[in-house]
Amino acid sequence: MNVLAPRNPHPASGVEEWQIRCDLAALYRLVAHFRMTDLIYTHISARLPGPEHHFLINHYGVLFHEMRASDLVKIDLEGNIVEEGAPAKRVNAAGFTIHSAIHRARADLMCVIHTHTAAGIAVSAQKQGLLPISQHALRFYGHLAYHGYEGIALDLDERERLVADLGGHQAMILRNHGLLVAGRTIAEAFSLIYYLERACQAQIQALAGGAELVLPPEEVRLHTARQFRREGSLEHFDMAWQAALRLIAHDQPDYRS
């Protein structure tokens, strides 16, 4: 996604795959920059082009702020590592369950992000879910799914239920767990998780104040959601992505290695 990448130190991966690796590593760094990490847990993946349905996910044990393009692991929909020279790399089992579910069912979506932030977990535990109390929240009004908690996502059977709950949406709250978004591009996925996280933060702070909340009328909620849908072009997401990349371009250039 338009990251200026150095010469590929792993030529077997090909130019296009290396570019995606650099972009995905940058996304990990940006998620860390905005404090949406949970030590070595949670995960971000990106589908690779081709009929094999391979995708990249983090090497389990590497912190988000230190992720490099070469740290990412290429796996198939069965969880097998399908790259040379990576026998020592590990993939989080719950991460495989969640991400393989989306990549198997939604060919329209390239990038999947799952987080465990304090605000995201807090909203996921609130019965009413995400309230339409902020412009950020209205971005998702009528376009947000929910998936009930079933324990740590180690049961591959959960994939069918997770996909069924997601339906045609691109954002979902995992009850008692956290947030999940999926984008057509890495840039779109970044935008979705950024604003869903901000919406959750605003809700928790508003509720903490103890004052009565103001909710926009239904017609305003629907109108705002439609406005966001009209503005949600890939070009718009890419513009925000390029701006965000400047946050790490100079101080953390090693993500492209």
pLDDT category of residue 12 using cuts at 50, 70 and 90:
low
- The answer, yes or no, to whether residue 1 has pLDDT greater than 90, is no
What digits encode the pLDDT tens for the residues 188-223?
A: 999 999 999 999 999 999 999 899 999 999 999 999
The reply to whether the predicted model has a pTM over 0.95 is no
- The answer, yes or no, to whether residue 120 has pLDDT greater than 90, is yes
The angle formed by the CA atoms of residues 92, 14 and 42, to the nearest 5 degrees, is 20
Q: Domain coordinates of the chain in residue numbers? A: 11-256
- The answer, yes or no, to whether residue 60 has pLDDT greater than 60, is yes
The angle formed by the CA atoms of residues 142, 174 and 190, to the nearest 5 degrees, is 70
DSSP string, 51-99: TT--EEE--TT--GGG--GGG-EEE-TTS-B-STT-TT----HHHHHHH
pLDDT category of residue 89 using cuts at 50, 70 and 90:
confident
CA distance 163 to 115: 17
CATH class for the domain made up of 11-256: alpha beta
Mean pLDDT of 106-114: 97
